[in-house]
Structure 1
Amino acid sequence: MKTKFYGKKITGILTLLPETEYNFEDDMQYNNLSEKQNRKLQKTMGYDKHRIFKKDTYLSKVAIFGIKHMIENSMINKEDISAIVLSTTSPDYLMPATSNLIMEGVGLNNDVFCIDTNQQCAGFTNGLLQAFMLLNNENMKKVLLITGDVMARNPDRSNTSSYPLSGDAICITVVENCNKNLPIYLHTVIDAKNYDALVFPGMGWRESTQEEIEKFASEKYGGYNYLPCLHMDGQAVFQYVMQDVPNYINETLEFAQSDRDNIDYYFFHQPNKFMVDKLAQKIGVSNDKVPSNVVTFYGNSNSSTIPVCISHNIKNDILKNNYKCMLAGFGAGLSYSGIIMELGKFNFCEMLITNY
């Protein structure tokens, strides 16, 4: 799908980080790899630190805390919140919607529109699509896009397949209409034939066959015989990002009639440093324009890596300046979602370490 929006802007990002921080130096003692293997993994993937929520933390608790912080510190007026869009893979419950609980916990009017979307790596950009569509309706003031997960709780530190890159962060992004009628270009692609490259096979109502159980427990998927956890075919995901995603990025640039050199920043989803650096090389863009340090400091926070990347790398500059940016999420689905838009002159861009 390719579509355009006009007169929309992001006016603030609040990134909420867990209190508990693990570092790779300590993590090494829990796995069966040699020190040489661990050091190679660390250098290649960019592992250093990551933050993980405590085991009694749930999504709505952190989001309610964040929105109240924004209201109490005059970052947003409570009455201006017209909608909540939640993009997550770890809701409080399967029913009711977690965004409903957030609305109630903050004490918003019951005419605020709330919707949960089950999104992962492309959750931020697809969440912006939802926000833009809502803002096309009359009387809409501000939409809060909440992204992130609490999936890394109770970590298995011996798991060298997914644990070193896992991390938690919940971001609240304020989206609203504006007088500048600049175009926003959005391009999405779904390659569902490879859906099982990233999958939680034991977390839904579909019962896995014996063949699927054996497949997901194989070394190809990390070698863990436990269905209610993430199973990833790392090679399939890597091939998708290296072979298909560059083509989709070029298609997005063509749709926006934008030369790649005219983009100030490329804020990509951050599976790991190696993959993002290789992607920058593939599309012929300088690494200076493609920050790849999110996993190094925070871990892979799924749908929150793009706002975390913005907050970590240009949180002061974006308060004063405007930048032409590409935002792109890619991975689980398998899916791609890219946006080209102007970002800048935010009212706030803050990273906050919570007690959670």
Structure 2
Amino acid sequence: MAKFSVENIEIKGIAAAVPSNVYINMNYDWISAKEREMFIKTTGVSKRHVANFGTTTSDLCERATNDLLDKINWKREDIDILIFVSQSRDYVIPSSACILQHKLNLSKSCIAFDLTMGCSGYVYGLSVISSMLNSQLKKGLLLVGDISTLHTSPKDKSTFPLFGDAGTCTAVEFNTNAYKSFYNLQTDGKGYEAIIIRDGGARNYVSETSLKSKKISEGIERNNIQLELNGIDVFNFSLKEITPNINELLSSSGVSKEEIDYFVFHQANKLINESIRKKLKLPLEKVPYSIENYGNTSSASIPITILAALSENLVNQNKKLLLSGFGVGLSWGSVIIDFNNVVCLPIIEMD
């Protein structure tokens, strides 16, 4: 396992933006009312925010970043690095991070690049930006999010009512007085087909057949440029790998479960997350949720959950959090990190 620690890194603030357009899952008439009720009970998703056509992840992240920079009074010329973590970039090329560097009016000396990651992306992104800030850089922006609904079929009951859209910004700073953070990152590419969009990349270009919708099973119809989710494989992976990953991290860091104030998990679905919570024997009050009102927001789900469920508990406080992301790849990772008076903005709703 890739276990390591990072010193001198402090989170200064977090902001997020979601589309104002809300989909209510009880109104999802592709499936019966009984199926809707069962879906909501099992996944925990009652509603989610869905982007209008033409709104991108970078648009949401840009808004979140502008609000956060104003709040924490950072000068744009002082920002040394911008990392954009997403599976829904503006274009195939160029990098969305380069476009954001321009739109945010950051210095030409600012490093900017994309990381193509999903569910584990926030933890991986934190590890990368933290490591780079320890190389004589001072201030960085971690922009994380996805427009997952762009890739789901309205006739796929396994994906369409599950996902929501969001973009976030986390301001990260080099500080020699900061507490040490501890990471445990893992990968198993053997399971890459568990969550996949088969066409549209270099392996399978978009063709006429890519757009042809196929009936996969009852209630599931999609084409090859829409998201395919193998729920059983994802469930089995999550229950097999995440608990050992977290326990190994706690052991290697010397931090006990009792010392962790909150465990913030990627919002996969309620069944998966509750199963992990119970395996770890964690009390409900230490495991916040955002999935009911925002759905599975991919890489943005950890910062969204922090803002939606923990903002009031983090004001003028020093709290120790364990963050864990897991899913597409298959990729998973956890970090123990201190939140010391972190600025948490209300979640913005964008038209």
Output the TM-score relative to the length of structure 1. 0.91
- Structure 2 partner of 1:67: 65
Q: Which residues of 2 match residues 1-356 of structure 1 at below 5 A?
A: 1-27=2-28, 29=29, 31-32=30-31, 34-73=32-71, 75-138=73-136, 140-153=137-150, 156-207=153-204, 219=216, 223-292=220-289, 294-355=290-351
> What stretches of structure 1 move > 6 A for 4+ residues in a row?
none
- SS of 1:304's partner is helix
Which residue type is aligned with residue 56 of structure 2?
Y
| Cα separation, 1, equivalents of 2:44 and 2:65 | 32
Which residue type is aligned with residue 3 of structure 1?
F
| Cα separation, 2, equivalents of 1:248 and 1:42 | 28
Deviates further, 263-272 or 56-65: 56-65
Query: Unaligned stretches of 5+ in structure 1?
Result: none
Asked whether the 8 Å contact 2:261–2:286 carries over to 1, the reply is: yes
| Cα separation, 2, equivalents of 1:238 and 1:201 | 21
Which residue type is aligned with residue 69 of structure 1?
D
Q: How far 1:221 sits from its partner (Å)?
A: 11
Which residue type is aligned with residue 325 of structure 1?
L
Asked whether the 8 Å contact 1:329–1:337 carries over to 2, the reply is: yes
Between the aligned residues of both structures, percent identity stands at 26
Task: Deviation per CA, 1:39-68: give whole Å up to 9, x if none.
Answer: 122112112110011101123333333333
Which residue type is aligned with residue 334 of structure 2?
G
Asked whether the 8 Å contact 1:82–1:112 carries over to 2, the reply is: yes
- SS of 2:278's partner is helix
Pick closer, same or farther for the CA change 1:127–1:154 going to 2, 3 Å.
Answer: closer
Pick closer, same or farther for the CA change 1:108–1:41 going to 2, 3 Å.
Answer: same
| Cα separation, 2, equivalents of 1:223 and 1:154 | 14
How many residues are treated as equivalent by the alignment? 344
| Cα separation, 2, equivalents of 1:256 and 1:112 | 33
Q: How far 1:118 sits from its partner (Å)?
A: 0.4
Task: Deviation per CA, 1:45-95: give whole Å up to 9, x if none.
Answer: 112110011101123333333333334455432122111001000111121
| Cα separation, 1, equivalents of 2:204 and 2:218 | 18
Query: Unaligned stretches of 5+ in structure 2?
Result: none
Output the TM-score relative to the length of structure 2. 0.92
Asked whether the 8 Å contact 1:152–1:167 carries over to 2, the reply is: yes
Deviates further, 83-92 or 176-185: 176-185
RMSD: 2.1
Asked whether the 8 Å contact 2:307–2:344 carries over to 1, the reply is: no
Asked whether the 8 Å contact 1:122–1:329 carries over to 2, the reply is: yes
